[in-house]
Structure 1
Amino acid sequence: MTFDNAISWFEIPATDIDRAQKFYEAIFGIEMAKMDMDGYKMRMFPINDPMTGIGGALCEASEFHGPSDKGVLIYLNANPDIQAIIDRIESAGGQVIVPKTLIAPEYGTMAVFMDTEGNRIGLHSIEGVVM
């Protein structure tokens, strides 16, 4: 068995899927695909190749999971400009918790925000990485 990536799929809980979709589309400048199943509403993040890439979605399913500001912290890809995404968070209804911060020259920058659903989410960018 090979282990190319530690993550293969993620779900960000939402209590209002339409509000969450509007927020993430606004901060990332993307369109999310709708995929609803019986009792489970999803909005898919774009992915170039579902067979090799890491995918994820916003999910509204209260009996399955709920928003969290204390659990696992995932970092979404903020390349090529993390600050451009950070600058859209508050106007879209979120809150910046940790501003753009250099991790180390070889690892890039990070930030953390609270989304409209009460989830604590990280951003990571390799901008400025020195090899």
Structure 2
Amino acid sequence: MTFDNAISWFEIPVTDMERAQKFYEAVFDITMQRMDMPGMKMCFFPLTDPMKGVGGTLCDSGGFHTPSEDKGTLIYLNANPNIQTIVDRIEPAGGKIVVPKTHIAPEYGYMAVFIDTEGNRVALHSVEGVVM
């Protein structure tokens, strides 16, 4: 079996949905859609075509998910076309840059890592300047 994308869905744990939504909307210059259900609040990252893209949410699950800056899986969010534009919004929105824009290799582009307002370690990736 092969996959178009290794990831099909992700959930970033939050403890304060309003604060987290404000942070991610400011950093990525997006509008997120909120859905509250019994015992769970979710806030969706926008997708052009949900059937073709990788989707994800901010998720307040009442304790099922735990924010962490040093444990668990590290997800990389899309920072195309220019990762520095996204990095420059992190600290004004209340986050902390842990690894600044870093060149990976000519064929892989750039990455950066930050801590969000909820205490999650999250990474960014962009393919700017990739040589094919």
Residue 48 (structure 1) shift: 1.1
Partner of 1:26: 26
Are 1:92 and 2:76 an aligned pair?
no
SS of the residue aligned with 1:91? coil
Identity rate, percent = 72
Question: What per-residue deviation string (whole Å, max 9, x for no partner) do you get for residues 21-59 of structure 1?
Answer: 000000000000011111100000001111121000000
Structure 1 residues 57-79: Cα deviation after superposition (integer angstroms, max 9, x where no partner): 00011331110112110000000
Aligned residues: 131
Contact kept? 2:13, 2:60, Cα under 8 Å: yes
Over the aligned positions, Cα root-mean-square deviation in angstroms equals 0.9
2:81 paired with 1:80: yes
Q: Matches of 1:122 and 1:2 in 2, distance apart?
A: 25
Aligned to 1:66: 66
Q: What CA distance in whole angstroms lies between the structure 2 residues aligned with 1:90 and 1:2? A: 38
| CA displacement at 1:2 relative to structure 2 | 4.5
Give me the whole-angstrom Cα distance separating, in 2, the residues matched to 1:117 and 1:110: 21
Q: 2:51 is matched with which residue?
A: 51
Three-state SS of the structure 1 residue aligned to 2:25 is helix
Task: Name the CA distance, whole Å, in 2 between partners of 1:98 and 1:122.
Answer: 9
1-structure distance, mates of 2:112, 2:91: 13
Letter aligned with residue 17 of structure 1? M
Cα separation, 1, equivalents of 2:108 and 2:82 = 15
Note the residue ranges of structure 1 that are not aligned, 5 or more in a row.
none
The answer for unaligned runs of 5 or more in structure 2 is: none
Query: In 2, distance between residues paired with 1:62 and 1:68?
Result: 15
Q: Are the aligned partners of 2:39 and 2:62 in contact in 1 as well (CA < 8 Å)?
A: no
In structure 2, what is the Cα distance between the partners aligned to 1:54 and 1:4? 10
